[in-house]
Structure formats: structure tokens, C-alpha cells
Amino acid sequence: MHSESLDTVLVAGATGGTGRAVLRLAQSRVDTVRALTRSPDAAPDLEAAGADEVVVDDLLDPDDLSAVVAGTDAVLSAVGTSPVAIRSGPPFVDGAGNRALVTAAADADVESFVMESAIGVGPEPASPLATAFDAFIGPLQKAKASAEASIRDAPLRHTILRPGVLTNGSRTDVVTAAEPGAKLWGLISRADVARLMLAAPLTPDARDRTLEVVSTPQFDERAAPIDWTLPR
Ligand SMILES: NC(=O)c1ccc[n+]([C@@H]2O[C@H](COP(=O)([O-])OP(=O)(O)OC[C@H]3O[C@@H](n4cnc5c(N)ncnc54)[C@H](OP(=O)(O)O)[C@@H]3O)[C@@H](O)[C@H]2O)c1
């Protein structure tokens, strides 16, 4: 990894909405984009979406995560559990899965780890709407909090992004990123989150930070000034 480029990234959750947006953006900006999925059948689709390599493993029952992360500059994790699957109970990929990936990345001397978390995760005060939402997805938020903690403890540069409600809208590049506790609430497209995830490893202002992020409404007065830098 150089100051302006990434040679190899792993996109975990590559078949998901945010993961696909990361693949689309990374394909022309990163030499080797590796996509993780549990499904071998997804490989052709992921390659068409921008992946150079596809690795098949289950973060909750991994075969060999050292091979999954080997040689990567950055791990970008957009894994998550569908809210309808909450009733199946833990472990959730949001928590245990991300923690396993962090451990493997640290063991392999990966430089940077970026996690897509969610607004409302963590002990900081959240907006009333985020708090109300937590009543439904509390177990997933708790799992994400455990993964966030393991990332902060690991010997890696990290950025944890806590987006508001995700949409499939287009990329706008108009985002508010703010410190935890800023009580942001609103929408953000997966494409806008993908830009931040790919930029985070090369953005000094995002280093070792946890950030709430939304696109609309904007909260200029709460925004942290960050000059997001995409590879190349
Ligand atoms: N929906 C919202 O409004 C909202 C708001 C804030 C934050 N978030 C969070 O943002 C993240 C991304 O959301 P999204 O909707 O873009 O994603 P998504 O479409 O739900 O995709 C989730 C991904 O997780 C992967 N995954 C699930 N279990 C796995 C396991 N055991 N091992 C490896 N991979 C696994 C799936 O891959 P395979 O099935 O291919 O294995 C899939 O690609 C999630 O953490 C979500 O909770 C969502």
C-alpha cells in the first residue's frame, strides 16, 4: 500500500448491497479486488461485478481465513445479518464473523481494516429515531459493538463507519461524517458508503476513527472535516 494506492483489497460481504457498490468502485482503482462469499455459485456474478478473485468461506464457520486475507493491504467488511434472521439468535456475522476476520487480518499483518457498522451502535448517545430502531435490531447492534471493540484493540489501522438508513440510490459524494454521539439521523446510499469504505485506508483524517455517516439531511454544524481520498 502506498500513500495514494491500494494493491489488493478484500471485500467481505461482496454479494451484498454495499459490497457490490465497493466492487464497482474498486475495479478501476485497485489492482486486485478479492471478494468473499459463502456461495461458490456467486463467483461468476462477482467477477462480472468487478472482482478479480473470489474466495469462498463462512466467517461463522471458517475453513481458512489466513488464505482469505493473505496479501491484502486492506479488508473492507460490509457483512451483515438480515433483520429477519435475528430470531435465529447469535452468533451473528456482524459480531463473531467480523471478530474472526479482524483476528485473521491482524495475524497476516494487513495494514487497514474498515467495518461498516451502523448508527446507534455503541454507548454514545444516539438520536431518538436511532434509539427507537434499536428496539428491533438490538441483538445485531450488540454484536456489531463487540466487533467494533475488537477492531479498536487490534494492531491495525482502522475506520469504523456507522451509516444511517441505507438506500440503493446513486452516489452523491454529499455526506456528513461526525464523531460518535453527534446524534446524526438520516439516509445514505450504499454507493456513498462504498466510497467512504474504499477511501478510508488512504484518508489520514479517517485513521483510527469511528464515524457516524449520513447523506440526507445534512448536519454541517456537526460534521468532522474529512478530505476523503480514493485510490489513484
Ligand atoms: N439496512 C440498513 O438500513 C443499514 C443501516 C446501517 C447499517 N447497516 C449495515 O450495513 C452492512 C451492509 O448492509 P447491506 O444491506 O449493504 O448488506 P447485505 O445486502 O445485507 O449483505 C450482507 C452480506 O453479508 C454476507 N454474509 C452474511 N453472513 C456471512 C457469513 N457467515 N460469512 C461471510 N459473509 C456473510 C453476505 O454474503 P454471502 O451471502 O454471499 O455469503 C452478504 O454479502 C450490514 O452490516 C448492515 O447491518 C444496514
Task: Going residue by residue through the chain, which has 232 residues, state the pLDDT in tens, using 9 for 90 and above.
Answer: 667 899 999 999 999 999 999 999 999 999 999 999 999 999 999 999 999 999 999 999 999 999 999 999 999 999 999 988 999 999 999 999 999 999 999 999 999 999 999 999 999 999 888 888 888 899 999 999 999 999 999 999 999 999 999 999 999 999 999 999 999 999 999 999 999 999 999 999 999 999 999 999 999 999 999 999 999 8
Residue 223 CA to ligand 1 centre (angstroms): 26
Q: Rounded to the nearest 10 degrees, what angle do helices 190-199 and 17-26 cross at? A: 50
Residue 94 CA to ligand 1 centre (angstroms): 8
Among 79, 93, 185, 187, which is best to mutate for testing ligand 1, by the most ligand atoms less than 8 A from CB? 79
d(CA 26, CA 113): 16
Q: Under the phi-then-psi rule, with left for phi > 0, alpha for psi from -120 to 50, and beta for the rest, what region is 216?
A: beta
State pTM to two decimals: 0.98
CB 90 within 8 A of CB 26: no
Residue 102 cell numbers, joined: 479482524
Residue at grid coordinates 476513527: 209
| Bond from prior residue into 91 cis (ω within 30 degrees of 0) | yes
Residue 83 CA to ligand 1 centre (angstroms): 10
Q: What is the pLDDT of residue 2?
A: 64
Q: Which CATH architecture has domain 6-222?
A: 3-Layer(aba) Sandwich (3.40)
Among 18, 57, 189, which is best to mutate for testing ligand 1, by the most ligand atoms less than 8 A from CB? 18
d(CA 1, CA 113): 13
**Using a 6 Å CB cutoff, which residues line ligand 1?**
13-19, 37-39, 42, 58-60, 78-80, 82, 93-94, 97, 116, 118, 163, 165-166, 190
Cβ density class 153-172: b for 16+ within 10 Å, e for less: ebebbbbbbbbbebbeeebe
Q: Where are the domains of the chain?
A: 6-222
Residue 100 cell numbers, joined: 474472526
d(CA 15, CA 38): 9
Residue 9 CA to ligand 1 centre (angstroms): 18
Q: What is the pLDDT of residue 136?
A: 87
